[in-house]
Amino acid sequence: MAPRITVIGTGYLGATHAAGMAELGYEVLGMDVDPDKVSVLSSGRSPVFEPGLEELLARHLASGRLRFTTSAEEAARFGDVHFLCVGTPQKKGEMAADMTYVDAAVDALAPHLDRPCVVVGKSTVPVGTAARLSQRLADTAPAGEAAELAWNPEFLREGYAVQDTLRPDRLVFGVRPGGRAEEALREVYAPLLGAGVPLVVTDYATAELVKVSANAFLATKISFINAMAEVCEASGADVTQLSAALAHDDRIGGRFLNAGLGFGGGCLPKDIRAFMARAGELGADQALTFLREVDAINMRRRSRMVELAREQCGGGFLGRRIAVLGAAFKPNSDDTRDSPALNVAAQIQLQGGQVSVYDPKALDNARKAFPGLNYAESALEAAEGAHVVLHLTEWQEFRELDPLVLGERVAERRVLDGRNVLDAERWRAAGWTYRALGRPQPEPLPGL
Ligand code: UDX
């Protein structure tokens, strides 16, 4: 008989995983302590903006393969394989990850696990967590060691979560030697393995580290090119041409090599900080120092953007209007967690600038996160009377803006491209001063 699946925690990861498992053909029960989330999901709506997710939810609520509950006991009794998908946010005022939700999920489930089953961690956790949870499970579940733990990290990108769930780059199983978890996971993921998705079977600690080091590597790649952007600015070189040339070397590759305002979001920043904290605890000081610099380079991009904006405003923000295009941490997302765009907007407002922020999808979340900022309902409205326009999240809509039309609205035609994707020549031809991070500023024409 096909295993029955439960998914504990139905946020962005859990909701996608639950719908994905139903799509693979399993009966799935999603469990969350938040009754609002459960009722939203039960009505077929997604709590986050994620392309394709609502269609998948609707299909499997209708097929009867997917339902949601707030009862941990019901979840424990239902499933043969229980996926833990709860969040591990950064602790307030610290770099380390907050493990409260992971521990609470295991504690809620364990007392009802009275038959053999597998509990599979998917959350991003500090290395060593799986070994600790495995012991906790064996000590507290009535099934004892027959309630077995495995670690199976996820690598979802926001905006591609459904695709990354149904066609991942790889699967990683961290298991205890001699247990039956590997077999159970091979069965659950048989449709993907059969389609050729590569599999790495390893121990708990390695599986946990695959996730954090993958994120640390991506962050490093971005900070590397942003460090090069600093050198480009200082030497008159152009970082966009530099990265295009580097990308031809397929050992380097062009992905995650776009210089600009740097990374944000709910994963990369918090995950590298949690990794730093754990590396420090383990005495891996060089890893800690290395990652600290990756984080520092990233944060420096934001202050550099504020500095450039101040320069464009004539040395100070007082009495100046600044249009901010973008609030989401990346395009095609409504997520504003650790958004570089909002961080820059807030810094400028703190320094006395009159900021007006527009984003095609993330305004609601932005208003919740930064209620003190001013928001506009369109790029044109944000640009009204602006002394400088900052392009901070690279939505397609912004690439398609007509600089001539926008030019009619602003007080001064100055644009700072924080993502290096606007067509500089087009903007310049429309009479704008175009500047970007890591690119040379052409000499002004004689007489101007
Ligand atoms: C990331 C990882 O890609 C994913 O594998 C992991 O599971 C979760 O974290 P996500 O947070 O959705 O996914 O965003 P991603 O697309 O990776 O972008 C992260 C940030 O890096 C964004 O702020 C983006 O604007 C920035 N970025 C990305 C750059 O600044 N330059 C680049 O070249 C690429």
> Is 171 contained in some domain?
yes
* Same domain membership, residue 228 and residue 146: no
* Same domain membership, residue 431 and residue 366: yes
Give me ligand 1 centre to Cα 329, in Å: 9
Contacting residues for 278 by C-beta, under 8 A, at least 6 apart: 96, 126, 127, 128, 212
Can you tell me the distance from the alpha carbon of 74 to that of 51, in angstroms, rounded to the nearest whole number?
30
* Cβ 196 vs Cβ 188: under 8 Å: no
CATH number at residue 176: 3.40.50.720
Give me ligand 1 centre to Cα 338, in Å: 12
* Same domain membership, residue 178 and residue 41: yes
- For the chain, the first-to-last Cα distance in angstroms comes to 78
pLDDT single digits (tens) 33-89: 999 999 999 999 998 889 999 999 999 999 999 999 999 999 999 999 999 999 999
Q: What is the CA radius of gyration of the chain?
A: 24
CA torsion angle for 128, 213, 164, 82 (degrees, to 10)? Answer: 0
pLDDT at 346 over 70: yes
> Is 95 contained in some domain?
yes
Res. 15 pLDDT band, cuts 50 70 90:
very high
* Same domain membership, residue 419 and residue 378: yes
- Alpha helix locations (H) across 248-385? 268-281, 285-312, 340-350, 363-369, 379-383
Can you tell me the distance from the alpha carbon of 327 to that of 335, in angstroms, rounded to the nearest whole number?
8
Q: Which two tokens stand for residue 195?
A: 């389609």
Give the chain's domain count.
3
Per the residue annotation, which of 85, 117, 232, 267 is the catalytic one? Answer: 267
Closest listed residue to residue 243, CA positions, set 230, 235, 253, 233: 253
* Same domain membership, residue 349 and residue 314: yes
* Same domain membership, residue 165 and residue 57: yes
3-class DSSP assignment, residue 300: helix
> Is 447 contained in some domain?
no
For 219-240, b/e burial (b = at least 16 CB within 10 A) is: bbbbbbbbbbbbebbeeeebbb
**Cβ of 163 less than 6 Å from ligand 1:** no
> Is 124 contained in some domain?
yes
* Same domain membership, residue 130 and residue 57: yes
The amino acid occupying position 186 is: R
* Same domain membership, residue 171 and residue 229: no
pLDDT single digits (tens) 123-174: 999 999 999 999 999 999 999 999 999 999 999 999 999 999 999 999 999 9
Output the residue whose Cα is nearest ligand 1's atom 20: 263
* 85 flagged as catalytic: no
Q: Are strands 388-391 and 321-325 parallel, antiparallel or unpaired?
A: parallel
Predicted local confidence at residue 448, as pLDDT: 45
The CB density around residue 68, as the number of other CB atoms within 10 Å, is: 25
pLDDT single digits (tens) 353-398: 999 999 999 999 999 999 999 999 999 999 999 999 999 999 999 9
pLDDT single digits (tens) 276-289: 999 999 999 999 99
Q: Which two tokens stand for residue 106?
A: 């295991």
Domain termination site, one of 184, 202, 220: 202
> Is 346 contained in some domain?
yes
* Same domain membership, residue 170 and residue 36: yes
Cross-strand pairs, 331 = none
Predicted local confidence at residue 377, as pLDDT: 98
Predicted local confidence at residue 418, as pLDDT: 98
Can you tell me the distance from the alpha carbon of 53 to that of 24, in angstroms, rounded to the nearest whole number?
14
Predicted local confidence at residue 440, as pLDDT: 87
Tell me which of 222, 297, 420 to substitute to probe ligand 1's pocket, judged by most ligand atoms within 8 Å of the beta carbon: 222
The answer to whether the annotation marks 258 as part of a ligand binding site is: yes
Percentage helix, strand, coil for the chain under 3-state DSSP, each rounded to 5 = 45, 15, 40
Please give the full DSSP string across 206-264, using - where no structure is assigned.
HHHHHHHHHHHHHHHHHHHHHHHHHHHHHHT--HHHHHHHHHTSTTT-STT---SS---
Predicted local confidence at residue 444, as pLDDT: 55
pLDDT at 428 over 50: yes
* Cβ 122 vs Cβ 101: under 8 Å: no
Predicted local confidence at residue 447, as pLDDT: 46
* Same domain membership, residue 371 and residue 261: no
Can you tell me the distance from the alpha carbon of 402 to that of 146, in angstroms, rounded to the nearest whole number?
63
The answer to whether the annotation marks 92 as part of a ligand binding site is: no
Domain termination site, one of 270, 298, 326: 298
Q: Which helix (H) or strand (E) holds 12?
A: helix 12-23
Can you tell me the distance from the alpha carbon of 295 to that of 264, in angstroms, rounded to the nearest whole number?
10
Q: Which residue has the tokens 């464009």?
A: 312
Closest listed residue to residue 309, CA positions, set 343, 339, 337: 343
- Containing domain of residue 280, as a range? 212-298
Mean pLDDT of all residues in the chain?
Answer: 96
pLDDT at 24 over 60: yes
**pLDDT higher for 406 or 96?**
406
CATH number at residue 293: 1.10.1040.10
Predicted local confidence at residue 49, as pLDDT: 86
The amino acid occupying position 223 is: S
* Same domain membership, residue 309 and residue 429: yes
pLDDT single digits (tens) 206-265: 999 999 999 999 999 999 999 999 999 999 999 999 999 999 999 999 999 999 999 999
Can you tell me the distance from the alpha carbon of 345 to that of 369, in angstroms, rounded to the nearest whole number?
12
Length of the chain: 448
**Max Cα–Cα distance, the chain, nearest Å:** 84
Output the residue whose Cα is nearest ligand 1's atom 19: 263
**Cβ of 218 less than 6 Å from ligand 1:** yes
> Is 446 contained in some domain?
no
> Is 103 contained in some domain?
yes
Predicted local confidence at residue 48, as pLDDT: 85
> Is 207 contained in some domain?
no
Domain termination site, one of 298, 316, 348: 298
Res. 443 pLDDT band, cuts 50 70 90:
low
Output the residue whose Cα is nearest ligand 1's atom 26: 263
* Cβ 375 vs Cβ 400: under 8 Å: no
* Same domain membership, residue 294 and residue 165: no
* Cβ 10 vs Cβ 158: under 8 Å: no
Can you tell me the distance from the alpha carbon of 296 to that of 447, in angstroms, rounded to the nearest whole number?
41
